[in-house]
Each structure stands twice: as structure tokens, then as C-alpha cells.
Chains A and B, each alone.
Chain A
Amino acid sequence: MSTLVYMKILELSPASYDRWMRFLTLGRVNHIKKEIAANWINPGDNVLEIGCGTGSLAALMTKRGARVTAVDISAKMLAEAQKKVPAADFHHLTALEIDQFPQDKFSRIVATLSFSELTIAELDMVLSLSANLLKPGGLLIVADEVRATKLWQRFLAVLMRWPLAIITFLITQQTTHVIKNFEARLTAAEKFELIQRHEYLLGTMALFIGRRSDKVSSGAAAKTGGGVPC
């Protein structure tokens, strides 16, 4: 019976997922998604979204006139997303399998609240795969939870995080993580240059815009497999 109560609390359906995420980020996540679609996506862009969830950002980007390809590991979420955005192209893949797509295909790669789910080794790998997929001058747009830079912000963040972390755990059965030193990881190996960084929620969330550095020789490390027709 006790196990029943736990599982009941931890139930999560894709339909309620968006609502909970809005709540857990105090409404910020939607704001950031709108900002990404409005400021950083141009009509005609070829966009890859890593970890699309229920497709709320994919919907915004499609409306803006972009061609969206999206990957996620949750079949349930993907089904929901497919319903929401029939025009986009969804694939059930992990972030590490994006090397199936042809090199230099995308002008934008977007990831919101998904890179923090990766381990550090996975993140480094995804960043270098992303550099290969982007066209020269293409942008990597990442919004995620980060550790605040100022001490007082960090203190406030801890106070704020605690209750939210407990609620998050109860609802999604997952602990949220922050990406530490994302700028350093992004610019390591000179694959990207950071062109903008915005902070939200007292510096606990950030939007990073990285441009593919010219030093990545276009299509040099051609080691892709079949390539998915899109």
C-alpha cells in the first residue's frame, strides 16, 4: 500500500508535464521559449531540437516558419508533440545519436532544459556532435538551469531551490541538475564561440547563444552512418 501511495504521487502524464514545468520554473520557461523563437529563429531556418519534450518550442519555431527536426527519448512525449506539431519531424533518439543526421545540415540547434539531464561526458560529446551538424556560422541555442554567478544570488537560489527540488522530485521522480561551467564546456576545443548569455530567475536559469566557430572544418570528420532522410 505504501508503494501505491508513492507511485500515485510520482505519476506523470505528458499532458500535465507542460503545466508542471511552467509551475516549477515560475512561468519562466515559456517566456524563454518565446524569446528563442522570436529573436533567434528566422523563417526558413533548418532547426534541430534536442529533447523536444511535448513540443511546445517546436510549435513556436514552426509557426515562425522554420523547418524543425526534433529528437527526444520519451515515446510518450513524442506522441504528444507529434499531435501538437504535425509539420515537424520527430525522431525517437538519444542526444548522442544525432550524428545520424547529415553534417552541416542545420542552421540552428536548440536545447531547452535537456542538457542538464546529461552526464558531463555525454554533454561534451553532444557539443562536439552539434558542432559537426551545424552549418558554418550556425547557432547553438541552449536554455537551462545554471549555478548563479553572484554569491547573494546563489544563496537565494538555494533557498528557492530547496522546496522546488522536493516538488520536482515528487512530481517527476527526477532530481534537477544544473549545468556547471557551461561556457567553458561550450568554448572548449574551440568548437563554438559564445556570443550572448542572458540570465533569468536571479541567475539560476540562463540562455546561451553559441556560434559555430570557423575552426571546425566543414564536414571534415565525416563519420556519419546512414543519415536520416528529412
Chain B
Amino acid sequence: MLNIIKDFWFLFGRLFPFPTKPGLRQVGSPDKNSPVLITANFELTVRQVINTLNKDGINAWLLVANTRGINVWCAAGGDNFSTDTVISALKSSKIEEMVDHKRLILPQLCASGVNIHSLKKRSGWQGRFGPVDIKHLAAWLQSGRPNPPAEHRRVLFPFKNRLVMGTNLGVNTLLFAILPLLLASYWLPGFWWKSLLLIFAAAILNCLLVFKLPGKPGLQKGLALGGIAAAIFTVIAVSALHLPFINLSGWLIWIIVIGAYLGYDTPSWSPLWRTDMKELLLGERNTEVSVSPEKCIGCGLCQNVCPAGVFGRDLLSGKSTALHLERCQACGACVENCPAAAIETNFEGGICSCPTCQILNKLK
């Protein structure tokens, strides 16, 4: 029952931290040779990790790091899931007394905060990055391969996640819009709840459709979606409800404005696209990542930590190259973990990987 209430909250309040008790958890019945995993102390994350591991029948030690209740990726970007965090978790849990090895499996998305070379040097623990999604962990552990397969190292944005981001986008837009809406309702009775429904519907539709429809998500597509929604609204209102067209014009403009605004905001709620804001505010179009062939030692770690599949391997030299710059989310995981300091970027890594945080960092 409690979990249902929590899940309901996460449907709308996923953006807010939700801490659970940090420390060592036993999953199944782990022994001296069982794998040691670490994750963030975001309640939803810990619950899902434990459920998935139990379902897959894995015996493991799970370290819940104190990331202040923030999820793995955001915490890593915001300096709350760093090498320091991992070391504190390792030392305070006394895990060294429980196991006979010093191998730690980290979630891949913490790579923008955790440097495994520095971890090894400071604590003696050998870190390895697992798959992005915990549900692929069992298969990877059983395969015995050093790294998860490429398709499990990419961040995806499936239907369910888009739906949840849609509801969250709605709530967060409302947080800022509710006061003006209530004020406006003094002159326009009923304006606030109609707008509220409209914003929610538009936010969810935007998140569901905007990545499926052709073209790049952003202002133009939001505007187009708003226009289409307004047209459908007009057709229904005039033909089925027989409302006079002249009374609708205000609402039509309002629908287009909401559609455009949400279209503009949607990409910043996705792990795949960047918002137009960066272009608009900074006149900067792309992030740039390059690997220096002289410095690169060909260890391939950047290919493993990149959640967007930017890097590839040069078949002749065996060194890394940045192949798909357009996918880069500027999370800085590659820069953080490159042992040879061979990767150069035009952004500062180790900051939240969402485009918004990137822009703020520039403006500061």
C-alpha cells in the first residue's frame, strides 16, 4: 500500500529528492565472493534495484550511497554521486570485512561523477561500470564479459518513461503557472481549471508524440502541435458543439501558446535531445568532443561510459574517435574517466548532464 502511494508521488514528483536510508543491504544470501554493487539512495531506485535482483535470483551486496535522495544520473552530474561518495560508502559500510575481493560494480550513469582510476588509487577498489538499466545486470554478470553489450550501455526513452516525464512536465509547468492562472480567473471564471487540464494534456501529448513525429523536437514542433490541437479543437467546437467561432479565438491563441511553450520545454525533459534554449541564449549550436589520437591509449573506457554512443573505435589504430557528436548529452562521463586526459570538449563536465544545467554553467 505504502509503495502504491510512493509510486503515485513519483508519477508527479520525480524531480524532487526522495531519500532512503543509506548503508549496506544484503540481496538474497551473499557470501564472501558475491558481487558488490552500489547505487544512489533515491527511494525508487533502491526499491527497483532490489526487486529486480531478487527476481533475477542474484545474491549480492548492495551499497546504498548517500546521494541525498537524488537519482544516479542527476546526482552524478550535480556532485552528489562522486568518487568521494563512493569511498565514504565503501569505508563506512565495512564491506571489506564481508567479502574477499575488492571489485565494485557501479551503475554506468554515475560515470560523470565517479572516476574509477581515482577510486582505485584512493581506496584500492577496482570499479567497473555495469549496464544503464538494472534489468540487464543479471545477463551481464552471467556472461562473464568485462563490459555489458553496447545496446545495454545506451540511455533510451521508452514509452513508459515518456509518459512519466509528461506528467512531471505538467506538474512543474503548473507550479509556475498556477498563481497567474488563479489571478486571471478573477476576470475569467473557470480559466484556471480549464488551463490546468489543457497544460496536462498538452504536456503528456508532447512527451508522447514529440519524439515520434518527424522533425526535431523543440519550439517549431511545439508550435505545430499547438496549431494542430487548436484546429481540431475548432472543428469539434464549431461542428459538434455549435459554438460561435468568435468566442473561441482567445482559447485558440492560448492553446497554441501552451503547445509552443511545452514543445520548447520538452527536450530538456528527455535524455536524448537538447533544448533550443542553448542556441537561443548562447548562439551555440553543438557540443564538441574530440579525442586526441596522440594521447589516446585505446583503453575503450570512453566507449563504455558514454550513455549516448558517441564514441567508436578506429579499426586501424584501435584508438577511440568521436563518431556521433549529434548524440552527445554533454554529461562529461568520458572526460571524467579518461585515464590519459585525451578527450577535449567545449563544455565543462561533471555538471548535471541536462541541457539546462549546461546552459546555466555557461551563464555563470
Query: Which A residues are closer than 8 A to B by beta carbons?
Result: 1-8, 11, 13, 73-74, 94-97, 118-119, 121-122, 124-125, 173-175
User: Who on chain A is nearest to B168 by CB?
Assistant: A2
- Chain B residue contacts of A4, Cβ below 8 A: 268, 277, 356, 359-360
A124 to B92, CA, bound (A): 8
Known A94-B87, A119-B92; judge A13-B277 contact (CB<8 A). Answer: no
Known A7-B356, A121-B23; judge A2-B92 contact (CB<8 A). Answer: no
Name, among A7, A11, A118, A173, the residue most crowded by chain B CB atoms within 10 Å (CB to CB).
A7
Task: Identify 11 residue pairs between A and B in the complex whose beta-carbon atoms are under 8 Å apart, listed by A's number.
Answer: A1-B268, A1-B277, A2-B176, A2-B265, A3-B265, A3-B356, A4-B360, A5-B176, A74-B79, A94-B84, A96-B92
Tell me if B22 and A119 are in contact (CB < 8 A).
yes
* Interface hits, B12-45 → A, CB 8 Å: 15, 17, 22-23
Tell me if A13 and B88 are in contact (CB < 8 A).
no
Q: Is B68 an interface residue (CB 8 A)?
A: yes
- Chain A residue contacts of B79, Cβ below 8 A: 74
Q: How far is the CB of B171 from chain A (nearest CB, A)?
A: 9
Tell me if A7 and B357 are in contact (CB < 8 A).
yes
User: Who on chain A is nearest to B355 by CB?
Assistant: A3
7 A-B pairs with the lowest CB-CB distances in the bound complex, closest first: A122-B92, A96-B91, A2-B172, A121-B92, A3-B356, A73-B84, A94-B84
Q: How far is the CB of B278 from chain A (nearest CB, A)?
A: 11
Q: Is B269 an interface residue (CB 8 A)?
A: yes
A95 to B88, CA, bound (A): 8
A interface footprint on B93-136 (CB within 8 Å = 1, 0 otherwise) = 10000000000000000000000000000100000000000000
Q: Is B61 an interface residue (CB 8 A)?
A: no
A3 to B84, CA, bound (A): 27
Tell me if A96 and B360 are in contact (CB < 8 A).
no
| Interface bracket on B | 20 to 34
A173 to B74, CA, bound (A): 13
A interface footprint on B2-16 (CB within 8 Å = 1, 0 otherwise) = 000000000000010
Tell me if A96 and B87 are in contact (CB < 8 A).
yes
- Chain B residue contacts of A3, Cβ below 8 A: 15, 172, 265, 268-269, 354, 356-357
Known A7-B356, A73-B82; judge A2-B88 contact (CB<8 A). Answer: no
The 8 Å CB contact of B364, one of A11, A97, A174, is A11
- Chain A residue contacts of B264, Cβ below 8 A: 1
A175 to B84, CA, bound (A): 19
A3 to B74, CA, bound (A): 12
Q: How far is the CB of A25 from chain B (nearest CB, A)?
A: 20
* Interface hits, B52-96 → A, CB 8 Å: 66, 68, 78-79, 82, 84, 87-88, 91-93
Tell me if A174 and B84 are in contact (CB < 8 A).
no
Tell me if A96 and B265 are in contact (CB < 8 A).
no
- Chain B residue contacts of A125, Cβ below 8 A: 91-92
- Chain A residue contacts of B261, Cβ below 8 A: 1
A119 to B41, CA, bound (A): 12
Query: Which B residues are closer than 8 A to A by beta carbons?
Result: 15, 17, 22-23, 66, 68, 78-79, 82, 84, 87-88, 91-93, 122, 169, 172-173, 175-176, 261, 264-265, 268-269, 277, 352, 354, 356-357, 359-360, 364
- Chain B residue contacts of A5, Cβ below 8 A: 176
- Chain B residue contacts of A174, Cβ below 8 A: 68
- Chain A residue contacts of B265, Cβ below 8 A: 1-3
Q: How far is the CB of B195 from chain A (nearest CB, A)?
A: 16
Q: How far is the CB of B363 from chain A (nearest CB, A)?
A: 9
Known: A4-B268, A94-B88, A125-B92. 11 other contacts (CB 8 A): A1-B261, A6-B15, A7-B356, A7-B360, A8-B360, A94-B87, A96-B91, A119-B66, A121-B22, A122-B91, A122-B92
User: Who on chain A is nearest to B261 by CB?
Assistant: A1
User: Who on chain A is nearest to B175 by CB?
Assistant: A2
The 8 Å CB contact of B122, one of A6, A11, A97, A175, is A97
- Chain B residue contacts of A119, Cβ below 8 A: 22-23, 66, 92
Q: How far is the CB of B64 from chain A (nearest CB, A)?
A: 10
User: Who on chain A is nearest to B87 by CB?
Assistant: A94
Name, among A2, A6, A74, A95, the residue most crowded by chain B CB atoms within 10 Å (CB to CB).
A2
Q: How far is the CB of A169 from chain B (nearest CB, A)?
A: 9
A2 to B277, CA, bound (A): 12
Q: How far is the CB of B18 from chain A (nearest CB, A)?
A: 12
Q: How far is the CB of B7 from chain A (nearest CB, A)?
A: 22
- Chain A residue contacts of B122, Cβ below 8 A: 97
A119 to B93, CA, bound (A): 10
Q: How far is the CB of A115 from chain B (nearest CB, A)?
A: 13
- Chain A residue contacts of B15, Cβ below 8 A: 3, 6
A44 to B359, CA, bound (A): 47
- Chain B residue contacts of A122, Cβ below 8 A: 66, 88, 91-92
- Chain B residue contacts of A118, Cβ below 8 A: 88
A124 to B93, CA, bound (A): 11
Tell me if A175 and B68 are in contact (CB < 8 A).
yes
User: Who on chain A is nearest to B64 by CB?
Assistant: A119
A174 to B75, CA, bound (A): 12
User: Who on chain B is nearest to A96 by CB?
Assistant: B91
Known A3-B172, A119-B66; judge A96-B354 contact (CB<8 A). Answer: no
Name, among A13, A73, A94, A96, the residue most crowded by chain B CB atoms within 10 Å (CB to CB).
A94
